[in-house]
Amino acid sequence: MPEELARRLGTTDAVVVGLSAMIGAGVFAAFAPAAAAAGHWLLASLALAAVVAYCNATSSARLAALYPESGGTYVYGRRRLGPLWGYLAGWGFTIGKTASCAAMALTFGSYVLPGLERPLAIAAVAVLTLLNLFGVQRSAGVARIIVAFVLAVLAVVILAGLTGDDSATFGWFARTPETEVFLRNAAGPYQADGWGVMQGAGLLFFAFAGYARIATLGEEVRDPARTIPRAVGIALGITLAVYTLVAVAALRTLQPELLATSAAPLAEVVRQAGFGWLAPVVGAGAAVAALGALLALLLGVSRTVLAMARERDLPGALAAVDPVRQVPRRAELAVGGAVIVLLLVADLREAIGFSSFGVLVYYAVANACAFTLRRDEGAPHRAVPVLGLALCLALAATLPLASVVAGLAVFAAGLAIYAVRRARAGR
């Protein structure tokens, strides 16, 4: 029997971990590329991303309650569909989210010390990895502080955007000749059509995907059958409400074209609303949000690595659990080390699309697993996993071509490694 992790997280802790992953740097970065794709239909993209997130969250919560183990969809895929599907889910999640860790660390560094972002990013990964080694409760305590600060900053952005001066731009509701030209510009970079809405939803999904962290920590949650579904629902509901208000405030204050081209869209909201002095506060919020997302990502990836090591899909040595702290020490160190290596050799701040592709495939597997649940196992309504699976695949296909190609290449490499391992094991 593998060593198990201690169950120390209650509902509030689990909600905080999910919020720190969802209300992270994505909300400060994802609205700009999504607006470039969807234009005035940004709220439609947000609604579609929320529907996908709801289906995925419902499927994941039911599965996590049934299989309260570390690893999330990697575990569900193995149990419900077979080892290959679990492996593909775990592989895509681990590779994609390791790249996301590096991206979040660089985002943090670029906000705090531009020009020295790489050394600062490496230091952030090292410090948070060390923090995680002291136990998941300490990590959750730090995440609680981060979430409170980021929510306060977003409240400032919302209030500024909804109450400030929007005369410098033509706003969401204005119908001027300029807005009509913008809306007709379907052939240009701001595709305000069905494809643009789908692509915008795929990019915004990056900012919703953090509820997986609750499921991957299933082995460390008290009363998981009750706590996990409740925590996922609460975290997703809060995130959707915040994102909707942020989107409305941004569209009221900025025209979609300005929102789409802004390097720091939420800071631009407070500037255009007449509260330019608050822009540094928003920048600080983005830096802290990136730190919170990085903390949650390191936790989630290390637990998936632990689960894969237990099944020998990764080296078995990574399955060790610290007998005192009850954390997967070697998996934590391996993930932190891998992220630092990536930071030394590549600039991964543009990893949103690639990460979205991997996570959408991950949740497609989760929905397929949920479809196999029986009523006595807590099966959701059949329409939920069916819709979730279809929308995950559709959104993955509409992501930018470079993201799709990179994602397919990563999964092809994973399949090749899996086939070689199986061939050697059969000898």
Evaluate whether 240 touches 205 at the Cβ level (below 8 Å): no
| Nearest residue to 72 via CA among 389, 297, 332, 384 | 297
Token reading at 32:
């700009």
Evaluate whether 348 touches 99 at the Cβ level (below 8 Å): yes
Q: What is the pLDDT of residue 186?
A: 37
| Nearest residue to 103 via CA among 88, 84, 86, 125 | 125
* Confidence band for 370, pLDDT divided at 50, 70 and 90: very high
**Which CATH number characterizes residue 369's domain?**
1.20.1740.10
Q: How many CA atoms lie within 13 A of 202 on its CB side?
A: 31
Check pLDDT > 80 for residue 17.
no
Q: Which residue has better confidence, 326 or 330?
A: 330
Tens of pLDDT, residue by residue over 148-179, are 898 999 999 999 989 876 544 444 444 444 44
Tens of pLDDT, residue by residue over 50-102, are 898 889 888 988 898 888 777 788 999 999 999 999 999 999 889 888 888 88
Evaluate whether 100 touches 207 at the Cβ level (below 8 Å): no
Split into its structural domains, the chain has a count of 1
Q: Which residue has better confidence, 29 or 156?
A: 156
In the chain, the amino acid numbered 288 is V
* Confidence band for 137, pLDDT divided at 50, 70 and 90: low
Check pLDDT > 60 for residue 259.
yes
**DSSP-assigned beta bridge partners for residue 217:** 70
By three-state DSSP, how is residue 168 classified?
A: coil
Percent helix / strand / coil, the chain, rounded to 5 = 80, 0, 20
Evaluate whether 327 touches 48 at the Cβ level (below 8 Å): no
| Nearest residue to 247 via CA among 193, 213, 201 | 201
Average confidence (pLDDT) over 322-341: 86
- Percentage of the chain modeled with pLDDT above 70: 84
- Per-residue buried b or exposed e for 257-292, using 16+ beta carbons within 10 Å of the residue's own CB: bbbbbbebbbbbbbbbbbbeebbebbbebbbbbbbb
By three-state DSSP, how is residue 167 classified?
A: coil
* Structural domain boundaries enclosing 124: 11-425
Placement of tokens 């790249």 in the chain: 99
In the chain, the amino acid numbered 42 is L
Q: What is the pLDDT of residue 215?
A: 64
pTM attached to this predicted model: 0.78
**DSSP-assigned beta bridge partners for residue 221:** 9
Check pLDDT > 80 for residue 147.
yes
**Is 204 among the domain residues?**
yes
Token reading at 243:
């994102």
Average confidence (pLDDT) over 335-362: 81
By three-state DSSP, how is residue 60 classified?
A: helix
**Is 3 among the domain residues?**
no
Q: Compute how many other C-beta atoms are within 10 angstroms of the C-beta atom of residue 409.
A: 11
Highest mean pLDDT among 221-225, 289-293, 371-375: 371-375
Beta strands in 9-117 (DSSP E): none
Distance from the Cα of residue 283 to its chain's centroid: 20
| Nearest residue to 265 via CA among 87, 50, 42 | 42
Highest mean pLDDT among 8-12, 89-93, 173-177, 225-229: 89-93
Q: What is the pLDDT of residue 124?
A: 93
Average confidence (pLDDT) over 319-325: 78
**Is 6 among the domain residues?**
no
Highest mean pLDDT among 27-31, 38-42, 368-372: 368-372
* Confidence band for 254, pLDDT divided at 50, 70 and 90: confident
Token reading at 384:
């939920």
Q: What is the pLDDT of residue 413?
A: 92
